[in-house]
Structure 1
């Protein structure tokens, strides 16, 4: 009798262990700024990713019924802190890292750290899914099998802006004002290069780099722009650096045009423009709120608002967990190597239209919409944003093929 009881207990324990193992979630580590001057940006990114994770889970989870779980880590805008977070995430069982809001240098450091870890730990690899750091080198000369970019890179975004500026003869003199780090330098470089090719007649009348996140008053920079006689500024500034630039220009009465990569995708930008009431801020992204002929995006935005109480701004961030789940389903596996191979050349229909993950460099190809923050007029701008009478005016829509550029990637695969 004691032997029988022991056997039953062992069988029950084994069954419980198997059930616990089957119920183990697939862990994703979110590593982005959750403190400091860009905390609102990091929280926006986290909320978009968490919403998509919850939605995937509500619809049944992964192909095998496993659920996704999002672990959160603060990058503190530091490569060293992010690498420490990566190790902590791996220790907690994460197989995928979602990141992108700390700058391309941080993402590059994470990709390098993940690559080293994967080389040392075959069978326990980790993937890096990047939603917002758009350095072309990440899918170019420094491309990695372990990294995927879910946003149009800097050159592709600037190509969309260059295509638009080509149709705007009133733009004659451009100043390049950017943050002094990799992305700011590249936004300036591609601005001069691609806009210059599209409009050889345009004059670039000055160029300045400034410390990121440390300038409290942009008046001296605005004075230099005014002295140069610019009518437009190409700036990659974001967060408080963009808001303070807009304020200083408005305080001086300078009615500039600004060309930016993703300004309207950050909370508070529309409010800043509505308060200054002068200046035109044009930016580019895969979608903007209120964009015509995007009913699925409108529905997603309404559901996001209902669930979170916040505004839906970035479909690409929402797309990351969904495309991950699609790749897992195609691979019929949760092994990162198999997921990566399934992601390569994966094409899916999304709320912003068809997208494709280019297999040769892991660069997502998606539409680009050039739009300007402008007053509601009932025609081109029908809805105000952030409680203001300013919204988004569509200026031009470009297909993925119209902004696709070649890559220098020579990828090494496992």
Structure 2
């Protein structure tokens, strides 16, 4: 029996039991749809997170107090002295800009509206280093730093909460921990970040935060130092220069740094690894439903063999070989899983599209990605499921003795 003839007969057999065939395929449809949808959502989440991280800049380095070696119990804090040393182009030619930061939570209020936000004390270098821009007003300048000015820039989420709008706010007054601050600018919308929403944030001059809101000990302590390398190719050199300069200032022993340096690529690699593991894990769980669908195919094919015992005996009596019977039943099980897989692909794509629309309407930048690899994987896997779970029923049918089969009632 040739394959084309086997396909035609399989279609005729399945068409004769439409309801049963449809319900059997439903398990495969749901399984493939779930796998496609989960992989699409995982790929979309990974793309969104990596895009957000890459948008910060590939030549950005983060310096934190505290080393990777837990034996260093009392690490020396990062200070403005460290910042000035890193900002010396003679000793650090690979570093383009340095931005010290003080950061903490603060209560901001206006007209009876209160919001708890992330407050960040910055210098003018912060804007180019972190790719921050304003949609209205001006940035914090050196004059604001020198005068410890009571000025503030609002994230769009903070502006919406306190004022119900994002424009026309220049000159308005808000209170930060009870102290009046004049609004001089509104930050551009940035969306979610690794630590939550980047729009629920306010920026104030570093000296103002240092003296009046986020007091630290010692007084010149900084929480994080953002360092921008000259370009992406100079990141490793900049990292080495940072390590040498701060190690000398803190008098660290070789290999016992009391600070940690993270590059943007480190964060991208970590985020990629986490999202990849989660996508694989969720996709694996979804694939379990494919196995359930395969067991359904085996069950139905065994029922079909029982129902068609006399037909099988008649075919063998008329000269059908064991191979012909085997091919016939394997073709039927493969068609069930293949057609179910194709329908499942469209179902998975539809689920991804619906999630994308819901995300867009809710203001979240998230776009599920249905990749060709995921489609091919689901299609091949569903076909293999049909073949695997169809082998036992097909083999059972092929091994029937013609005389016994013809006598079966």
* Bigger RCO of structures 1 and 2 (CA < 8 A, at least 6 apart): 2
The structure whose Rg is larger is 2
Identify the structure with the greater helix proportion. Answer: 2
Fold shared per TM-score above 0.5: no
